[in-house]
């Protein structure tokens, strides 16, 4: 059976000519309006939390100068990426997101191969994002443990168990609670903004060791041990770029939101603007909260941000309250990630992109969610957890690919719209979000260049001399992912995968 367009793509003038793959006639609830979708996008990125959690790398790669100016650079690139993605989403709002866009925009001969690679890249990026957020939950939790019991000696298996517990609880919540408590994203978004304001004000105000402005904005400290300042700065951009990883989240909920062609672009842009504002403001506040970040990096506390809060406020109680708040925020961020990732995996299975797609494309008639797709993503995260037992370096390398994979998957259709010359055949004049032609070319070009740069520099080792312990294994991990993708293509995708195309193409 070839479904009508409203079974997979919301009916709108922009997408009436899109032919999509087979899917079941069981629909998910459309319980996401504009504000709730913005809340979910904000919860997924939680930009200020992401920057705070990954401060050590930026500090080692240039100090506060690298962090603050890095956020400014990344803000420009992510605005361009957000505008590019929002424009395409206003025409083709589907749960498949960027890989559907790739299938539509690519030359017919290359459409299947390119969209398959883009789709699997996006799926893997969300698994890496989920793993990274669960590590944030784990490290903040154990920061509390060590703070109150300095004699405790944590073992990898303890990190492993808490990592697994976080995923189990989130998956169960997705299965049985998410449809009844969609408002939780609204609450968590408001709570996150409140905690952001409180920490950004209290820490610099109470600090007794504030640095001067020259030190914060002018002293570049290259601690890499060998990289030139420019290369060290580019490597350090991995911290600010993490603030908007998973920018495509709202696209994958197209099946569950009202008026997706109008709502999704607004949600994407709102997520970018809110993320930039909160991340930059929080980073500035933290940089003025303590004058010696190197001492925080040498602390036995797993999460230096906890130590920064404790030192700046001179209160373990304040640091504890802030940390408990962060754990709550990260938990529901992980919840949003699993929800989003399962919708993408479901869409990819509907196009026969994965082995066992006949199971993965099913929507539970009672729960109205893609249970098998959710289960597959959980199982992948479960297996990734064993990496931590084997090698924390390998685990960190895997989650370090999240930026590369996510940005690369988004840049693929953006590169193709440039290849098509931003033709009106693919960018109709009546689209709900329209970039002026010159601005569109600039935003699209910046997106592609940025994706290329981070693919190169985020695979570099951060410090010298390079040892087995501090080596950046992101490149080998990407090779392993490529081999997995190639195996899935040869065993299944080559014969069965078929992405959407424009009618008559």
In 3D space, the residue among 345, 366, 365 whose CA is nearest the CA of residue 356 turns out to be 345
| Confidence (pLDDT) at 490 | 93
| Confidence (pLDDT) at 505 | 62
In 3D space, the residue among 351, 394, 191, 71 whose CA is nearest the CA of residue 62 turns out to be 71
- Residue 2: inside a domain, yes or no? no
Percent of the chain with pLDDT over 70: 93
| Confidence (pLDDT) at 468 | 75
Q: CB 335: neighbour CB atoms within 10 A?
A: 26
In 3D space, the residue among 169, 157, 97 whose CA is nearest the CA of residue 133 turns out to be 169
Scan for tokens 């929002």, then name that residue: 86
Domain containing 174 equals 23-502
Q: How many domains would you assign to the chain?
A: 1
- Residue 16: inside a domain, yes or no? no
Q: What are phi and psi of 32, to 5 degrees?
A: -115, 110
C-alpha 34/C-alpha 45 separation (Å) is: 17
b/e string for 253-267 if b means 16 or more Cβ within 10 A? bbbbbeebbbbbbbb
Q: Angle, to 10 degrees, between the axis of helix 229-236 and the axis of helix 63-89?
A: 50
DSSP 502: E
DSSP 493: I
DSSP 489: I
Q: CB 314: neighbour CB atoms within 10 A?
A: 12
- Residue 355: inside a domain, yes or no? yes
Helix (H) or strand (E) holding 501: strand 501-502
- Residue 378: inside a domain, yes or no? yes
Scan for tokens 């940390």, then name that residue: 323
C-alpha 446/C-alpha 84 separation (Å) is: 10
C-alpha 395/C-alpha 392 separation (Å) is: 5
- Residue 8: inside a domain, yes or no? no
- Residue 13: inside a domain, yes or no? no
C-alpha 122/C-alpha 78 separation (Å) is: 17
Asked if 261 contacts 98 with a C-beta cutoff of 8 angstroms, the reply is no
Walk along the chain (505 residues) and give the pLDDT tens digit of each residue: 333 333 343 333 355 555 454 444 556 777 788 999 999 999 999 999 999 988 766 776 778 888 999 999 999 999 999 999 999 999 999 999 999 999 999 998 899 999 999 999 999 999 999 999 999 999 999 999 999 999 898 999 999 999 999 999 999 999 999 888 889 999 999 999 999 999 999 999 999 888 888 888 988 877 777 788 888 889 889 889 999 999 999 999 988 888 899 999 999 999 999 999 999 999 999 999 988 877 777 788 999 999 999 999 999 999 999 999 999 999 999 999 999 999 999 999 999 999 889 999 999 989 889 999 999 999 999 999 999 898 888 898 899 899 999 999 999 999 999 999 999 999 998 888 999 999 999 999 999 999 999 999 999 888 788 877 778 899 999 999 999 999 999 999 999 998 887 665 6
Token pair of 40, please? 């979910």
| Confidence (pLDDT) at 50 | 93
| Confidence (pLDDT) at 374 | 97
Half-sphere CA count of 405, side-chain side, radius 13 A: 26
- Residue 6: inside a domain, yes or no? no
Q: Which domain CATH number covers 414?
A: 1.20.1740.10
Reported as a single tens digit per residue, the pLDDT across 25-43 is 556 777 788 999 999 999 9
- Residue 7: inside a domain, yes or no? no
C-alpha 150/C-alpha 312 separation (Å) is: 20
Q: CB 443: neighbour CB atoms within 10 A?
A: 23
């Amino acid at each position: 059976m070839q479904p009508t367009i409203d079974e997979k793509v919301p009916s709108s003038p922009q997408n009436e000519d899109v032919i999509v793959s087979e899917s079941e006639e069981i629909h998910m609830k459309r319980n996401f309006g504009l504000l709730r979708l913005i809340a979910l996008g904000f919860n997924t990125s939680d930009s200020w939390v992401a920057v705070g959690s990954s401060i050590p790398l930026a500090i080692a790669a240039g100090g506060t100068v690298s962090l603050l100016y890095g956020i400014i650079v990344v803000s420009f690139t992510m605005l361009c990426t957000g505008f590019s993605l929002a424009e395409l989403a206003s025409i083709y709002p589907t749960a498949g997101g960027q890989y559907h866009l790739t299938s539509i925009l690519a030359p017919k001969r290359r459409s299947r191969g390119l969209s398959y690679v883009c789709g699997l890249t996006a799926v893997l990026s969300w698994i890496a994002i989920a793993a990274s957020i669960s590590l944030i939950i784990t490290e903040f939790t154990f920061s509390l443990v060590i703070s109150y019991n300095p004699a405790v000696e944590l073992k990898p298996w303890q990190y492993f168990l808490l990592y697994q517990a976080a995923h189990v609880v989130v998956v169960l919540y997705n299965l049985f609670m998410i449809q009844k408590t969609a408002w939780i994203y609204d609450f968590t978004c408001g709570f996150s903004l409140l905690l952001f304001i409180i920490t950004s004000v209290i820490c610099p105000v109470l600090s007794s060791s504030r640095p001067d402005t020259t030190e914060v904005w002018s002293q570049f400290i290259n601690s890499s041990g060998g990289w030139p300042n420019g290369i060290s700065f580019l490597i350090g951009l991995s911290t600010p770029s993490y603030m908007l990883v998973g920018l495509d989240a709202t696209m994958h909920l197209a099946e569950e939101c009202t008026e997706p062609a109008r709502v999704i672009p607004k949600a994407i842009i709102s997520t970018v603007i809110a993320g930039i504002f909160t991340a930059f403001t929080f980073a500035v506040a933290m940089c003025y909260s303590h004058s010696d970040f190197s001492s925080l990096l040498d602390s036995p506390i797993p999460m230096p941000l906890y130590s920064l809060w404790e030192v700046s406020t001179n209160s373990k109680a304040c640091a504890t309250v802030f940390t408990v708040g962060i754990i709550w925020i990260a938990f529901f961020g992980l919840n949003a990630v699993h929800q989003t990732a399962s919708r993408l995996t479901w869409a990819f299975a509907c196009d026969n992109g994965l082995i066992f797609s006949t199971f993965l494309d099913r929507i539970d008639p009672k729960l109205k969610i893609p249970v098998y797709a959710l289960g597959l993503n959980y199982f992948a995260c479960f297996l990734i957890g064993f990496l931590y037992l084997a090698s924390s370096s390998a685990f960190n390398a895997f989650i370090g690919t999240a930026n590369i994979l996510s940005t690369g998957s988004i840049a693929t259709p953006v590169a193709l719209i440039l290849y098509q010359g931003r033709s009106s055949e693919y960018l109709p004049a009546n689209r709900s979000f329209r970039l002026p032609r010159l601005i569109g070319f600039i935003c699209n070009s910046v997106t592609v260049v940025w994706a290329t740069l981070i693919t190169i520099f985020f695979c570099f080792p951060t410090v010298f001399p390079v040892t087995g312990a501090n080596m950046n294994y992101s490149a080998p991990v990407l090779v392993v992912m490529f081999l997995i993708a190639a195996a899935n293509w040869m065993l299944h995708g080559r014969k069965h995968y078929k992405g959407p195309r424009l009618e008559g193409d």
